[in-house]
Chain A
Amino acid sequence: MELLNRSEKIFKVCAYVLAIAFAAAALYPIIYAFSVSISGRVAYESGIIRLLPKDVTFQAYNMVLHSKGFWIAYANTLFYTVLGTAWSMFVSLTGAYALQNAKLKFRRQWNFLLVFTMWFSAGMIPQFLNYKSMHVDNRWGIVIAFGIQAYNIILLRNYFSGIPKEIEEAAIIDGANDFQMLTQIYIPMSKASIATVTLFYAITRWNGYYWSRMLLSDPYQQPLQVYLRQQIENYQKLYDESAVALPYSADSLAYAIIICSIIPVLIIYPYIQKYFAKGVNMGGVKG
């Protein structure tokens, strides 16, 4: 017996070809960026680099890694990512536990107030004035005032409320209070969800750009994304300043900064990837 009929076979072949083509197109700019970052200036500017590097040189990386501004920005981003993610997780875990707890008075109303922020926001100008009046213009302000997402809290809340109530009842009989319940029952039982939300928060922090640029008054506190953007804005200037004698082009330098800035994301990407299949990111759409 034939398993696939003709139209299915044709469709399958098309599916393979198109999906692989799309995947290649999605990866191409990143691979190309890497190739240019390690290519020599003459080869690049003559336009012969299509995919693979030519005249391999690591001078552009040497330049980036010896730049003080780059390391300051990198350290700042690490600070915002580590402390910011810790703060976001603290607020989200405690809040998610409380919001799903049957003992909480006005539970529906609290949950509604959270979901409402997903559909109505004050907008950029009132937010900007609020940040200004609350003096969010330094490192700690960026850590505390940003990075908490109602969506992630709902995700954790839904996961928590799926934990069997028998376990909770047993813990209550053993005399556990709410602090112990959260730290010794709920958190250990939801490691996978917590890991996912942590990674999502960490990536959002790592990629943060706009509000840091608008609010931070001290240029030495700016994160990596702002540093990278400023390099791109000075693109033409980069060209004029890179004397002909340099072995790499300005594009190689810019691409080298980009590659350095995405390495941490590429390292943790496989770990996030693991959770996609479980549909973890859809669980919370319904408030």
Chain B
Amino acid sequence: MGSEIKMREPRCKGLIGALLKDWRLYLLLLPLVLWFAVWAYKPMGGLLIAFKRFDSSLGVWSSEFRGIQNFINLVSGVNKEQFWQAFRNTFIINAYGLAFGFPVPIILAILFSEIGNSFVRKFTQTATYLPHFLSEVTITSIAIMLVYSGVHSTGILASLFQELGLLEPGVSMLAKPNYFRPLYIAVGIWKESGYNSIVYFAAIMGISPTLYEAMKVDGANKLQELRYVTFPGMAPTLIIMIIMRVGHMLSIGYERVLLMYNSNVYVTADVLSTFEQRIGILSANYGVGASVSLFNSLIAFALVIGANTISRSISDTSLW
């Protein structure tokens, strides 16, 4: 019956018709579109200055075009030493992060899932998530004071290391290049590993208990359960997290490095984003700075696409 009733055709068709009819809907979309247009997409146009000699009185469009001169300066010209040092440090710090920081949340999630007492579990989870919600400034300030070693005071960690013979008295860990990376990784583990364990914990909780029971009937021990049930159950989450991690291989959060490093430790601490900040903003060399930005963004984007493609072809798990 219903299908025989002819609906009256709307008077206006297509896009304009939809806009007129649902104008309220498009008005609701407008703030979001404007915000992302102005603060996310407009600066992408500003990447053009990577190919220009930027003159702030002329602006992005009218500045003098100089081709790939900025990039040549970076990879083989006046800035090459700093650039390659930052490039190397970025990869090394990320590799350390992958080796030492990445497994910790997975281990934590497995530990949490073993804790049957709900009070103990809640308490340990709440305590380990907390540092994530404190600011980088707070976390790094505490870390700096703990390892500070100067004329008037010695932080508690610095004095512990001195007692253990790992550190000479009067030497500040913050001024020694070989301490920067371990400190940076340790701060990262302290701040983020609890919070990052949430996704793995959720994945473990999603594994059907019958699988564990079946393993038990077959006489498996705990390690075999982990190997044959827990890890396969976590695999999709693990793969997603690895893709994201690889995608961010070049983009170390600059805030923490900026807060922890100083000119004494550039040789191990300076990463691409902090180099970009110093040369681009502090030295006002915008063209070269923007070419680091472009380099960073393009490689990060390519890494995400690459990791995602590989993951999709071998495991059916992908981000999109």
Contacts and interface: CB of A to CB of B under 8 A. Distances in A.
The yes or no verdict on A and B being binding partners is yes
Contact of A134 (B38, B116, B145, B297): B38
B180 interface: no
Nearest to A3: B216
Interface string A268-280: 0100110010010
Contact of A282 (B56, B134, B156, B199): B199
Contact of A239 (B45, B130, B152): B152
Contact of A104 (B25, B148, B154, B276): B25
A8 interface: yes
A115 B39 CA distance: 15
Interface residues of A, number: 101
Interface in B107-165: 107-108, 110-112, 114-116, 120-121, 123-131, 133-138, 141-146, 148, 150, 152-154, 156, 159
Contact of A29 (B142, B153, B297): B142
The secondary structure that dominates the B interface is helix
Interface residues of B, number: 99
A249 B120 contact: no
Contacts of B35: 91, 148
A22 B108 contact: yes
Interface stretch (A53-61, A63-71, A174-182, A187-195): A174-182
A95 B32 CA distance: 5
A127 B43 contact: yes
A265 B38 CA distance: 31
Contacts of A99: 29, 32
Nearest to B157: A29
A88 to B, nearest CB: 10
Interface string B268-295: 0000010011001100001001101110
Interface stretch (B2-10, B80-88, B90-98, B252-260): B252-260
A237 B126 CA distance: 37
Contacts of A10: 222
B40 interface: yes
Per CB-CB distance, the 8 closest pairs between chain A and chain B, nearest first, are A123-B293, A95-B32, A126-B46, A207-B135, A122-B43, A15-B114, A98-B29, A23-B127
